[in-house]
Amino acid sequence: MGTTQLESVPEPKYWHLRTVLSEALDSEFSVGEILPNERDLAARFGVARATLRQALEQLELEGRLQRRRGVGTTVAPPRVGVAVGSRRHTWPGSAEDAWQPVDCERAAPPAAVAAALETGPGEAVHVVRRSRMSNGQRVATELLHIPDAAVPDLTAIDAPSGAARARAVLRELQRLELEGQDRAVELGSARADDAKDLDRLPGAPVLVVTTRFFAGGRTAALSVATYRADTCRLTFGDSPDVEIHHDPEQRAS
Amino acid sequence: MGTTQLESVPEPKYWHLRTVLSEALDSEFSVGEILPNERDLAARFGVARATLRQALEQLELEGRLQRRRGVGTTVAPPRVGVAVGSRRHTWPGSAEDAWQPVDCERAAPPAAVAAALETGPGEAVHVVRRSRMSNGQRVATELLHIPDAAVPDLTAIDAPSGAARARAVLRELQRLELEGQDRAVELGSARADDAKDLDRLPGAPVLVVTTRFFAGGRTAALSVATYRADTCRLTFGDSPDVEIHHDPEQRAS
DNA sequence: GAGTGGTCTAGACCACGGT
DNA sequence: CCGTGGTCTAGACCACTCT
């Protein structure tokens, strides 16, 4: 006997730091407050800056912190509840859709999308770009892929491009009877252009929501929506913005 | 004249590396194959090991790679489609629930959970722990919180703890009429014990699915499920395991 | 220009898995 | 035991924002 085992399970420094900082955020800081800069914090805790940054990255991933180059690190507000998919199946663009059309172009989708749409490889489809705001901040961008076969009357549309054409395409889509839809959520990292839209750096964690819309016995549209993972909590079902919790660590007991 | 601007938008090395490696994975490697070790790879690309690791971390986040200490880095299989929430509202444990009860104890939930359950702070509830397998691998762990008020007949149950008691509690729950449910998905990081369950390191990215079950005009149960973000794609709606795509970068065109 | 976070380096040592 | 990925250091420079 003798040595009362301290540190019998030595957790990594950055993980311990994360916990300490997390508790400090709960008790000593309020939303929007600016933290000391990384060099000061690292010195204060007696660790290298890289180690401190590992802890900050964790907290940012959990939506507790927000970091902006040239500005500083601030305490993030609780995640926004963003309603994804009502029970009722509706086409994009109908009723009070939270999305705003940005533009529309024709392009050949990547192989994976083409497969879901059952179009030939390299076959161009309509690609409607939309964005979604919440609390004055852009929280998601979407690419909506629609094969020609799904919207046959599109030749009559005059708007060559832009938001006007996007709206026209969506209008045509709504003439079809929606037979069902399908949804999947996974973790991804923001590509350069999505990152720019979302005011994040490339590689930022995002929640990718893929929705298939069925009509006429085929996939008539496929939506790939990219949500900021740091600021969004995706809600499904009846209540659009329920304040359940803001604790990615689930339980502390 | 003179300097034709190459690298006019110099992207970070690790991001470029990520792209290069990603393409190499597509064309030159097959699932399960072991990559060269980090020191070799770093040398091969002429970068520091830390920089190479940044690229590997990205790819792991996207579900393209799997890294295990003491073993090596392997090419990950496509993400598993995991069905979350059927259209029909059912209690946990009923019918062909994908979850397996592990044990059950009484504990005071964290404040956020207590608030959702409308229990007093510090008030103990039943906590059923369950786990979920897919393809022989544990993909999620769950804590199901049930306040006493929701299952009044529980005094008759003899099993003091363990999976038997967990099943008994679920059975009692199913006697109630389920009035509705509510679901949210957000990004989190695995706590130490969840990480262990999921065979990951603490801090590993997870998808946290919070489900509220309503009965008798109140929240009768609250489930907090933690899915491995690297290996899972959460599917909602009709088709449980649709192969939509495996490309977190969405489109390449 | 001053100050911030973001990238990158070249090393060291540790914890783990398989031999 | 060796080789692997995981952690950590102490520095440097870059890109950005604000004043």
Name the closest residue on chain B to residue A252, using Cα atoms. Answer: B110
What integer pLDDT is reported at residue A38 of this predicted model?
98
What is the tens place of the pLDDT at every residue in A67-101? 999 999 999 999 999 998 765 678 888 767 789 99
What integer pLDDT is reported at residue A137 of this predicted model?
84
What integer pLDDT is reported at residue B238 of this predicted model?
54
Q: Which of A29-33, A149-153, A202-206 is the least confident region?
A: A149-153
Name the closest residue on chain A to residue B233, using Cα atoms. Answer: A186
What integer pLDDT is reported at residue A18 of this predicted model?
97
Beta strand ranges found along chain A (DSSP E): 65-68, 72-75, 80-83, 99-107, 125-134, 137-146, 180-189, 205-215, 218-228, 232-237
What integer pLDDT is reported at residue B159 of this predicted model?
67
pLDDT confidence tier of residue A154, bands split at 50, 70 and 90: low
The answer to whether the beta carbons of residues B80 and B234 sit under 8 Å apart is no
pLDDT confidence tier of residue A55, bands split at 50, 70 and 90: very high
Which residues are B144's β-sheet partners?
A: B128, B223
Name the closest residue on chain B to residue A124, using Cα atoms. Answer: B253
Question: Would you say the C-beta of B192 is within 7 Å of strand D?
Answer: no
Q: What is d(CA A19, CA B192) in angstroms, rounded to the nearest whole number?
A: 12
Residues 74-103 of B near strand C (Cβ < 7 Å)? none
Q: Which residues of chain A lie closer than 8 angstroms to B245, CB-CB?
A: 110, 112-113, 115-116, 210
What integer pLDDT is reported at residue A149 of this predicted model?
85
Instruction: Output the six-digit token pair for A51.
Output: 């180690």
Which protein residue's Cα is closest to nucleotide C10 at C1'?
A: B48
Question: Would you say the C-beta of A38 is within 7 Å of strand C?
Answer: yes
What is the tens place of the pLDDT at every residue in A155-190? 666 667 788 889 888 988 888 889 888 899 999 999
Distance from CA of B224 to the nearest CA of A (A): 7
Q: Which of the pair, B135 or A96, is modelled with greater confidence? A: B135
Which nucleotides in chain C lie closer than 7 A to a protein CB?
2-12, 15-18
Q: Residue B146 contacts by C-beta under 8 Å, 6 or more apart in sequence? A: B125, B126, B127, B128, B169, B173, B220, B221
Q: Do A62 and B224 touch (CB under 8 A)?
A: no
Q: What is d(CA A134, CA A128) in angstroms, rounded to the nearest whole number?
A: 20
What is the tens place of the pLDDT at every residue in A218-240? 899 999 999 999 999 999 875 43
Position B206: which residue type? V
pLDDT > 50? residue A253:
no
Question: Would you say the C-beta of A10 is within 7 Å of strand C?
Answer: yes
> Could you give the percent of chain B with pLDDT greater than 90?
55
pLDDT > 60? residue B6:
no
pLDDT > 60? residue B243:
no
Q: What is d(CA B104, CA B151) in angstroms, rounded to the nearest whole number?
A: 14
The answer to whether the beta carbons of residues A128 and A97 sit under 8 Å apart is no
What integer pLDDT is reported at residue B242 of this predicted model?
41
Question: What one-character-per-residue DSSP string does chain B give?
Answer: -----TTSS---HHHHHHHHHHHHHHHH--TTPBPPPHHHHHHHHTS-HHHHHHHHHHHHHTTSEEEETTTEEEEPPPPEEEE---SS---TTSSS-SEEEEEEEEEPPPHHHHHHHTPPTT--EEEEEEEEEETTEEEEEEEEEE-GGG-GGGGG----SHHHHHHHHHHHHTTSPP-EEEEEEEEEE--HHHHHHTT--TT-EEEEEEEEEEETTEEEEEEEEEEETTTEEEEEES-SS------TT----
Q: Which residues of chain B lie closer than 8 angstroms to A18, CB-CB?
A: 203
- B196-199: long-range contacts (C-beta < 8 A, 24 or more apart)? B197/B131, B197/B138, B197/B141, B198/B138, B198/B139, B198/B140, B198/B141, B198/B226, B198/B228, B199/B137, B199/B138
Nearest by CB to B116, which of A109, A230, A244?
A244
Instruction: Tally A–B CB contacts below 8 A.
Output: 189
DSSP, res A17 = H
pLDDT confidence tier of residue B135, bands split at 50, 70 and 90: confident
Helical (H) or strand (E) element with A50 = helix A49-61
C-beta atoms surrounding A100 within 10 Å:
15
Q: What is d(CA B55, CA B14) in angstroms, rounded to the nearest whole number?
A: 5
Helix B49-61 to helix B38-45 angle (10° resolution) is: 110
List phi, psi (to 5°) of A148: -55, -40
Q: What is d(CA A14, CA A59) in angstroms, rounded to the nearest whole number?
A: 11
Which protein residue's Cα is closest to nucleotide C6 at C1'?
A: A69
pLDDT > 90? residue A114:
yes
Q: Which of the pair, B19 or A150, is modelled with greater confidence? A: B19
Which nucleotide comes closest to B53 if you measure CA to C1'?
D5
Q: Which residue has the tokens 């939309």?
A: A130
pLDDT > 70? residue B249:
no
The answer to whether the beta carbons of residues A144 and A222 sit under 8 Å apart is yes
Tell me the pLDDT of chain B averaged across its residues: 86
pLDDT > 60? residue B237:
yes
Q: Residue A210 contacts by C-beta under 8 Å, 6 or more apart in sequence? A: A183, A184, A185, A186, A222, A223, A224, A225, B244, B245
Nearest by CB to A81, which of B113, B184, B202?
B184
Q: Residue A134 contacts by C-beta under 8 Å, 6 or more apart in sequence? A: A80, A82, A98, A232
Q: Which of the pair, B5 or A65, is modelled with greater confidence? A: A65
Mean pLDDT of B170-184: 89
pLDDT > 90? residue B16:
yes
Position B172: which residue type? E
pLDDT confidence tier of residue A33, bands split at 50, 70 and 90: very high
Q: Which residues of chain A lie closer than 8 angstroms to B11, CB-CB?
A: 192, 202
Q: Which residues of chain B lie closer than 8 angstroms to A202, CB-CB?
A: 11-12, 15
Q: What is d(CA B72, CA B58) in angstroms, rounded to the nearest whole number?
A: 16
What integer pLDDT is reported at residue A226 of this predicted model?
96
pLDDT confidence tier of residue A113, bands split at 50, 70 and 90: very high
What is the tens place of the pLDDT at every residue in B25-82? 999 999 999 999 999 999 999 999 999 999 999 999 999 999 999 999 999 999 999 9
pLDDT > 60? residue A243:
no
> Could you give the percent of chain B with pLDDT greater than 70?
86
Q: Do A182 and B234 touch (CB under 8 A)?
A: no
Question: Would you say the C-beta of B66 is within 7 Å of strand C?
Answer: no
CB-count burial class (<10 Å; 0-12, 13-18, 19+) for A82: buried
> Could you give the percent of chain A with pLDDT greater than 90?
55
